[in-house]
Structure 1
């Protein structure tokens, strides 16, 4: 029998390692930056600065503007970490 080995192409290891932080960064766009457009908060989009009972437990609530700001700033911080991880994987090699 032939001895079959799994061989990764050059750069595949880095690409696989970068897949998780890249997917997380995309998820954070949806949940942080586009927070008002999710089904549980879209009802409050007409009144950004007035309290909404749906947002009482939200981070930054009870107003949609406050909840949106809190979610967007958390997303921004985590996206910076994701960017730093991907950058460290693909930074130019100094010789």
Structure 2
């Protein structure tokens, strides 16, 4: 779901892969929120309501998990995988 969220940010808001992944992996995680207000922080951070994001998951191919440790269905990773040339250093060192 994390990669699907990053892909939706790229498609809807025209962000680069580095920007979208930083927003998901750094900015949202750094935001201070609790159980009662996470939806507000989600909406402020990503400029979409959680329900809007969850609805987009229907557009992705769902497949059985290939991992032996998880028996549920998952989003097919192919369409949401970042480029091979993106580096973690680029995501975590970029300034907002």
TM-score w.r.t. length of structure 2 = 0.20
Q: Which has the higher helix share?
A: 1
Instruction: Give the structure with higher Rg (CA).
Output: 1
The structure with the greater share of residues assigned to strand is 2
